[in-house]
Chain A
Amino acid sequence: MSTQVIRATDLTRRFGDFTAVDHISFTMDSGEVVGYLGPNGSGKTTTIRMLLGLLIPTAGEASVLGYDVVRQAEQIRERVGYMSQKFALYHDLTVGENLTFYAGVYGERSRARLAEVLELVGLNQLEGERVSDLPSGWRQRLALGTAIVHRPRLLFLDEPTSGVDPTARRAFWDLIYTLVAEGVAALVTTHYMDEAEYCGRVGIMRDGKLLAMDTPSTLKASALPGLTWDVFLDGAGESVASSLLEALNALETCSCVLRAGLVSDHLRAITPADVSAETLRQRLGEAGVAGLRVEPAEPTLEDVFLALAAR
């Protein structure tokens, strides 16, 4: 049985005349992993701080685990885990000491639980290491450990993967899913569009507004107005970069192209559903760029974001 762990209704926060979070509404159930995707300054952290009861909403309301974020903030904070962007760790203490400290804060006294958490985050061999000696990927794991020591049913992870390398990022998501398999729900903010693909549902934030929240596949089907194409410049040789721009300009002038942009080392084009690869190639030729390879592509969440942002 899944139960609602978050319910936000028209949640709003203004700072002076700046609206950081603008009437957002969503719900989240136990066992879900929801990605909260958006650039810096889009209101992700402000949302989380309101849900934790650290910041009073200007308007709207929200409940977390059934508790009201304004009147019952204490109860919420005792029951959720929170990992902030800047991992709140004591660098001159060891891994074990940091964990013991947070266990104390949450009133968790069992040694067995500490051992279990160390094992879970893969730091059992490093209990005696000082945090200052750990690489960022391991600090990140410890920060997660400190957030789960009191067995929370709901985790708020605020940009947990910023600044760690791709290998550590992947390993961290594995860890999140290990926790989820044990019945924990997680709201994870990120500005890496590709990471959001791992989430059951994804909310897309921009300028304080929640533009959409749904499964990645539904978002792709509903937000994108047509077909997605990859356009490659094979054998462009030395000046790949400048020919990319030429081809991009040409794509943008084609009447059959709804949107064009850079993606990795090639280009992405969105066209209406009735345009074929042959037509697209022909139009590009007429626009003065020949010899491009056009292939149907699968849309990404970045395409979704760009499409939603353009509305």
Chain B
Amino acid sequence: MEVLIEAHNLHKSFGETRAVDGLSLRVAAGEIYGLVGPDGAGKTTTLRLLCAVLQLERIKGGQPASIRIGGYDAVRQTELARAQIGYLPQRFSLYDDLTVLENIRFFAEVRGLSSADWRPRCMEILGFVGLDPFVDRLAGHLSGGMKQKLGLAAALVHRPRVLLLDEPTTGVDPVTRQDFWQLIIRLASQANHEPSVAVLVSTPYMDEAARCTRVGFMRAGRLLMEGKPVDLTLRLKDQILELRGHPLDLLRRLAGADQDVEDAQMFGDRIHLRTRLGKRFEVEERLKQLIVSEGGEIVQLRPVAPQLEDVFISLSDQAVSPS
């Protein structure tokens, strides 16, 4: 597949803070790459570097930084590179006193669409995001989810090959989140006979990350690990036990104290135990006896397929140990 985002050795500091610290990334057409990490990990700075709205930093004696977007050098051919990009920032501004169509027309004209071209394209893209029944509504009167879809439409109006989405679904209604992801998937998978798009999306939701083609875990400006979700979860194969029962705090305390349990975390109303490699059966047997003898009740104790969140937590444990 054609590589549409190619970034090498990106650095960016703000004062003493290294926001992005030697990051390299490749995303091909048709891929949805999920960037996961806490606030301050460098996700937004990475996206802004790729848009060439922030200047790259030179590191003395280090490898030179480079960004190519759709084949264009983001430093020497900035305008050409930018023309390939649709960017939906975390705080997207619309003109509340303009209608949906007027808003999208504004973005179309900024992006240089001709007067012959803008109307059919605007209607097409509004249809794609499902806002065509609302073309005459003032943007200020849209629901949060509709505003987010209008933002996506604005980012797509000039038919970019590269789509950069900065936490597009954070705090968004689950109904909209469903719709929004269906749109992302359609863009990446050659819908509408248009060439497929490379999508780079940052998200705090692990369940969204799990449906990306590839995922990168970020912390302190670096990519700690990247890969296909299935390959990442394979790293913890046969190590995760799910424990349900009562009382939860007793169960968690007993499980957490087991010599072969590396970590015991609440996953909703159940506990996930990460066991040492090859020790799963022993832990299972020991806990079955111990919990009952301590007056607890096990509703279920079983091995489960690891989730991305398990992987992320195990990585965090290795990366930093607080205090």
Contact = CB atoms under 8 A, between A and B. Distances in A.
A165 B41 CA distance: 10
A255 interface: no
A167 B313 contact: yes
Nearest to B230: A265
Contacts of B38: 135-137, 163-165, 168
Given A40-B144, A125-B323, A261-B178, A162 B171 contact: yes
Given A138-B322, A166-B206, A244-B211, A198 B269 contact: yes
Contact of A39 (B32, B173, B205, B307): B173
Interface stretch (B93-101, B121-129, B180-188): B180-188
A122 interface: yes
A206 B219 CA distance: 33
A262 interface: yes
B185 A265 contact: no
B92 interface: no
Interface in A196-241: 197-198, 206-207, 216, 239-241
B249 A177 contact: yes
Contacts of A40: 144, 171-172
A35 to B, nearest CB: 11
B40 interface: yes
Interface stretch (A21-29, A279-287, A301-309): A301-309
A194 interface: yes
Given A300-B268, A306-B175, A245 B40 contact: no
A263 B207 contact: yes
A163 B307 CA distance: 20
A5 interface: no
Contacts of B186: 245
A193 interface: yes
B59 interface: no
A245 B182 contact: yes
Nearest to B269: A197
Contact of B172 (A39, A170, A194, A248): A39
Contacts of A206: 173
Contacts of B13: none
Contacts of B181: 262
For the side of the interface on A, what is the size category? 35 or more
Contacts of B307: 264
A79 interface: no
Interface in A97-136: 122, 125-126, 135-136
B174 A39 contact: yes
B185 A241 contact: yes
B309 A166 contact: yes
A170 B211 CA distance: 23
A202 to B, nearest CB: 11
A306 B143 CA distance: 17
A191 interface: yes
Interface string B40-58: 1100000000000000000
A167 B267 CA distance: 11
Contacts of A126: 323
B316 A248 contact: no
A125 B322 CA distance: 10
A195 B174 CA distance: 14
B229 interface: yes
Nearest to B309: A166
A66 interface: no
B258 interface: no
Contacts of B205: 192
Contacts of A261: 178
Interface string A163-195: 111111010011001000000000000011110
B185 A244 contact: yes
B37 interface: yes
A166 B210 CA distance: 15
Contacts of B189: 239, 241-242, 245
A309 B204 contact: no
5 cross-chain pairs, A with B, having the tightest CB-CB distances, nearest first: A197-B268, A242-B189, A163-B39, A165-B38, A40-B171
Given A126-B323, A162-B170, A170-B265, 8 more contacts: A41-B144, A167-B312, A194-B267, A239-B189, A241-B213, A242-B190, A263-B207, A300-B268
24 contacts: A39-B174, A40-B172, A41-B143, A41-B144, A136-B40, A138-B322, A162-B170, A164-B39, A170-B313, A174-B266, A177-B249, A194-B268, A197-B269, A241-B32, A241-B185, A241-B188, A242-B189, A245-B186, A264-B207, A264-B210, A265-B211, A265-B229, A309-B173, A309-B174
